[in-house]
Amino acid sequence: MHTPTGFLHEGRAYGLLAAAGLRVPRHGFLESTSLPFAPGEPIVLKGIADQLWHKSDRDAVYFGTFDLEALKAEATAMQLRVPEHPWIGGLVCERVAFKRLSGLPTEALVSLKRDPDAGWLVVCGIGGLQADAWAALAPPMLWPIALMTPEQALDDLRAHWLGRTWLGYQRGTEALTDEAKLLAFLKGLWRAAEGLEREGVSLLELNPVVLDNNGLPTALDGVGTLDSPIAATVATPDLTWYRALLNPRSLVIAGVSSRDGTVGRIILENIRKSDLPVGALRLIKPGTPAFLGLPCLASVVELAEAPTDQLILSLPAYQTLEAVEQLCRQGGGATVVYLVAGGLGDGADSEGLGQRLVACLEEHRRAGKWTPAIVGPNGLGLFSPDQALNTFFIPEVKLPLAAKPGHLALVSQSGAFLITRLSRRTELGLRAAVAIGNQMDLRCSDFLKGFGGDPAVQVVGVYLEGFAPGDLQATAQAARVLRNSGRRVLLYKGGRSQEGMAAASSHTGALAGDHALQASVLRRAGVLLAERMEAFDSALAWLGAYPKGRPASVAIMTNAGFESVVSADLLSGPFHGSKLTEAETAALTATIETHGLSGLVSSRLPLDLTPMADEAAYLASARLLLNTDADVVVVGLVPLTKRLDTSDPAVYGPFTIALAALARTSGKWVGVAVEGGALYDGYRQALREAGLPVFLTMEEALEGLRLIASESEV
């Protein structure tokens, strides 16, 4: 019998499934000494050959009765039909009677796959010969084993076309099985993944899986691939780097020029405005004892005797690499090293410098030697409000940053994405904002772990163009830890199209990967995954103001009919429009009368106060709505009405403060959409400074709420 290489044949697959307690047909190879069949018993003979995945396509499947000599002859004929596939043997299988429903698919396809980024996955959907066609109508379910339980998978299966058919939930059908049998099957798949891992299996496809006459899921075929076990990952740095990065007691910069406007010089000018301790800042500048009033070191060699918390290398790619290699050789010098330069592992790296950097770090960590933690390369810098520490190479005149500590942390693979958000959302209270570049050492998951250990962080906003190898699962697991502690991770993943993947790869060296897989894994971990940038920005504004809570009931209050109508159309899905009780309706009617709006305003939601409402009417109505069952009140302000003073800070300032105070005292969320042009930017800014999330349109406000409301349980 031929021993296949890299191919898991059906006979071996059945053995692995049976070891996990799963139902498989009675079976045996013709070449064995005894077979578990009686003469004349209905059987299926299958020709098993190396790399023969689709036996029926090659006429290597025979239905008949058990007759040993006749089956041997049939197997010989099969072998002749597949001469390019080394023969393994003829596999005799029990012919399993299984349940069917007229006009409905009852066969399943189940795949167990070891993904290098996501770990073990179970894919389950409609199977049989028309599996591809059915997948377009009822996409298969994707279950990352490390992030889900069989019970959670059963919840998915109940709602899927396949599960609804099996359980008799489709109209006019009867149950073919029950939930207990399906749960036992799913638990067996979870156990099977452990056995497949031990055997070095990377893929096992079961098609079809049918329900036998007892309702037990039974695999009627199984093939897969055998690979070498995935190499153990190199340990990442311990979390001492986190404090050294965000709150360094000492900092050294290499690459500061005497010319104004250069990268290193801008970084230095920004850092000198920080709250670093006196004497904490040094430069590396050969042949110069002091420069611009700061002490200088000749090279990183001197850091061995006088180490620093953080070293910023604003040097060309090759010099950056040499500096890191020297630190590793000397066994010390900097807890964390921030690499500004590109040209290491990205589209501009034509000499393999990035590979050399990774090899150096891995070699030292495997040997248990001291190794610095590396952020980048291709990093734009960071902002840490605790120390007013700004290491961006963007001049202050272009990006003035106010040190406003808060509960939000931002992590971005793209420096441009990060600084544009900081420029647009000056009201955000931050623990940190870090551009992480190419993730050649510290990866997205490491930053989530760092924030997970920091009680000041309640919300993490993430922009990624690609996951570092193997980091998808680690990121999801770190996000789950944050979510289980009552915190949130909001993420936008770029590079989803072919064009986006190409752009990401050329810029950061990122591999965008399969978005559907990544999205499933991340959502299972409780990540708020934005499919549109507008949704990310809107959700960021809401969570920047209100890290806790989940919108389910939304009350809308506007002064424009179109906002009321559009908002009503959007109140569906994961949240709903708030409803008033009779008593609340009566109270609203009285409020309308008090403010002279009778005959103009209807006492119902969404509430259209009309352009005749002034600030007092808005505040009185907001106070009332915040005492209903609404979790969120979204206030629409079309500022062109004469009844609202949008030009005099002495008037609109107290209004914005009073509206924000209502939100705080109620413990509920209040957001404001100001639908006007640049003339009203000062008005918007006053609302932001009062602590309210502000939007340009009601649609924008509600899109972010929808994303937050869709958050999955973990």
Q: Closest by alpha carbon to 311, among 289, 279, 287, 340?
A: 340
Residue 460 located in a structural domain: no
Domain that holds residue 88: 26-94
Domain boundary among 70, 94, 118: 94
Same domain, 175 and 213: yes
| Domains identified in the chain, total number | 3
The enclosing H or E element of 92 equals strand 87-94
Average pLDDT over residues 136-162: 93
Rounded to whole angstroms, how far apart are CA atoms 266 and 276? Answer: 17
Q: Is pLDDT of 511 > 50?
A: no
Rounded to whole angstroms, how far apart are CA atoms 594 and 589? Answer: 9
Asked if 131 and 125 touch (Cβ cutoff 8 Å), the reply is yes
The pair of three-digit structure tokens given for residue 539, joined into one six-digit string: 């959700």
Residues 359-418 pLDDT 10s: 999 999 999 999 999 999 999 999 999 999 999 999 999 999 988 899 999 999 999 999
Average pLDDT over residues 450-459: 97
Residue type, 271: I
Same domain, 568 and 679: yes
pLDDT band at 645, cuts 50/70/90?
Answer: very high
Residue 144 located in a structural domain: yes
pLDDT band at 502, cuts 50/70/90?
Answer: very low
Same domain, 87 and 170: no
Q: What is the pLDDT of residue 514?
A: 81
Domain boundary among 226, 259, 274: 226
Same domain, 174 and 85: no
Residue 341 located in a structural domain: no
Residue 663 located in a structural domain: yes
**708: helix, strand or coil:** helix
Q: What is the pLDDT of residue 347?
A: 80
Same domain, 79 and 112: no
Residue with tokens 């604003």, as numbered in its chain: 314
Q: Is pLDDT of 647 > 70?
A: yes
Same domain, 569 and 702: yes
Percent of the chain at pLDDT exceeding 90:
85
Asked if 313 and 300 touch (Cβ cutoff 8 Å), the reply is no
Same domain, 112 and 193: yes
CATH number at residue 692: 3.40.50.261
Let me know how many helices (H) and strands (E) the chain has, helices first: 22, 31
Same domain, 88 and 178: no
Q: What is the pLDDT of residue 135?
A: 78
Which range is least confidently modeled, 68-77, 130-139, 142-151?
130-139
Q: Is pLDDT of 455 > 70?
A: yes
Averaged pLDDT of the chain: 92
Which range is least confidently modeled, 348-352, 389-393, 505-509?
505-509
Domain boundary among 226, 251, 271: 226
Q: What is the pLDDT of residue 33?
A: 75
The pair of three-digit structure tokens given for residue 667, joined into one six-digit string: 């413990």
Q: Is pLDDT of 504 > 60?
A: no
- In 502-531, which positions are buried (b, 16+ CB within 10 angstroms) versus exposed (e)? ebbbebbbbebbebebbbbbbbbbbbbbbe
Residue scoring higher pLDDT (564 or 24): 24
Side-chain half-sphere CA neighbours of 219 within 13 A: 32
- Counting beta carbons within 10 angstroms of the beta carbon of residue 412, is it exposed (0 to 12), middle (13 to 18) or buried (19 or more)? buried
Same domain, 70 and 122: no
Same domain, 165 and 32: no
Rounded to whole angstroms, how far apart are CA atoms 475 and 491? Answer: 11
Residue 59 located in a structural domain: yes
Same domain, 34 and 159: no
Q: Is pLDDT of 253 > 80?
A: yes
* Paired strand residues for 374: 337
CATH number at residue 36: 3.30.1490
CATH number at residue 138: 3.30.470.20
Residue 127 located in a structural domain: yes
Residue 683 located in a structural domain: yes
Same domain, 124 and 185: yes
Residue 447 located in a structural domain: no
Average pLDDT over residues 537-557: 96
Q: Is pLDDT of 507 > 60?
A: no
Rounded to whole angstroms, how far apart are CA atoms 320 and 441? Answer: 14
pLDDT band at 556, cuts 50/70/90?
Answer: very high
Q: What is the pLDDT of residue 225?
A: 95
Classify residue 578 by its DSSP letter: -
Rounded to whole angstroms, how far apart are CA atoms 661 and 181? Answer: 55
The pair of three-digit structure tokens given for residue 48, joined into one six-digit string: 């098993």
Residues 209-242 pLDDT 10s: 999 999 999 999 999 999 865 555 556 677 899 9
